[in-house]
Amino acid sequence: DELAAARPLATPARPMFAPVLLEPAPSGTSRTAVASLIVAVAGIPLFGLITGLVAIVLGSIALGGIHGSRRRGTGFALGGILLGIVDVVGWLVFLTLALRGGVMPRIDLADFEPDESVLEGLPPAIGRAMRANVLVEWTSNRGMIGGSGIGSGVVVGVADGRMIIVTNRHVVDPEFTADYSAANERPKLGGTLEVKLFGQASRPARVLWIAPDGIDLALVDAPAIEADVRAAPWRTDSRLTVGMEVFAVGNPCGLGWTHSPGVISQLRRQTCGSRRIRVIQTNAAINPGNSGGGLYDKDGNLIGINTWTNDKRISEGLGFAIAWESLLELNPPGLKTPEPEPLEPQKEPPAEEATDRP
């Protein structure tokens, strides 16, 4: 009875699992890979810093699309990526050199010692300034790396076998900034300080005084071994005018005892804490290493201490010196008005005998 009552199952109208027909993968060369290589090549003459990055991105996308397909273009994509990297690196190097003004040959300063014979026959004003100029060098052993630097100074007094040298504070204190809250703290050099006279060996020195209120001046004390050490002449009543002929003596970039002529371009004022100091603007060449050196009038009297210069990539002929009168107003210890010492007249070369011959 049960078998007679059973009914057959209904046949489905369509199969439950129909076969899926896969479309054939596209063939041919990937356009994205070709575009990557074209953009990378275009980046060589064009701005490769941008086009190179675009080529790298396009090449990476092309490689992802080519993988697992029948498309060609792997070589184009890899070439676009590699050339894109070359574009980016090359343009970064080019821009760096262009902004820095190109590659300059490095000077070995040890090969450019001044010729001692040049002091003979110099105009007395320049010769006296040359002998009063010193090269100041500090070496710091603070930390694991340490550091060193050079600057200039001027001998302004000699007594009892010692000489007093005026320089900038930032020459003897590399961590100095015009921060008035800590301006009166003594410098923490943590190394050695040496000074060198023209044609003489270096000798140890020590900081004797620093200017208050963040004024960039300092006095250094060192032994005066030689009997012919000369101090720069200076006066308390210097009359400075715009257009007045001046010259600087210092050690720019370590090239010691360099003479740089110029004029006073302007007289300015600077506020340092509660004080206002006088600043001399000059077009005499002032470069790194001139800091602390002297600015002199045409008679060889010290009128200022070279302190600042503008970025040479922006402008030329902008140098600044703290006027000597501003240092005297601070009443630093050990400075005494020098006795007037007449400068020796410059020797004139012998005149040639008259002759009728042409």
71-114 residue pLDDT tens: 777 888 788 888 888 888 887 888 777 665 444 454 555 567 78
pLDDT digits 0-9 by tens, 16-50: 555 555 555 555 777 787 887 888 788 777 777 78
Question: First vs last Cα of the chain: how many Å apart?
Answer: 156
Tell me how far apart the alpha carbons of residues 180 and 177 are, in angstroms, rounded to a whole number: 9
CATH topology of domain 122-177+187-223: Thrombin, subunit H (2.40.10)
Counting Cβ atoms within 10 Å, is residue 286 exposed (0-12), middle (13-18) or buried (19+)? buried
pLDDT of residue 103: 41
Give, in order, the Cα–Cα distances in Å from 299 to each of 96, 126, 209, 332.
Answer: 45, 8, 28, 25
Q: What residues of the chain score a pLDDT lower than 70?
A: 1-27, 67-70, 98-111, 141-146, 178-190, 337-358
Give the DSSP H/E element, type plus range, for residue 295: strand 294-297
pLDDT of residue 102: 40
What does the block give as tokens for 355?
A: 């002759």
Domain made up of 245-329: CATH architecture: Beta Barrel (2.40)
pLDDT of residue 332: 92
pLDDT of residue 42: 82
Tell me how far apart the alpha carbons of residues 212 and 48 are, in angstroms, rounded to a whole number: 53
User: DSSP label at 90?
Assistant: H
pLDDT of residue 351: 46
pLDDT of residue 146: 59
pLDDT of residue 74: 80
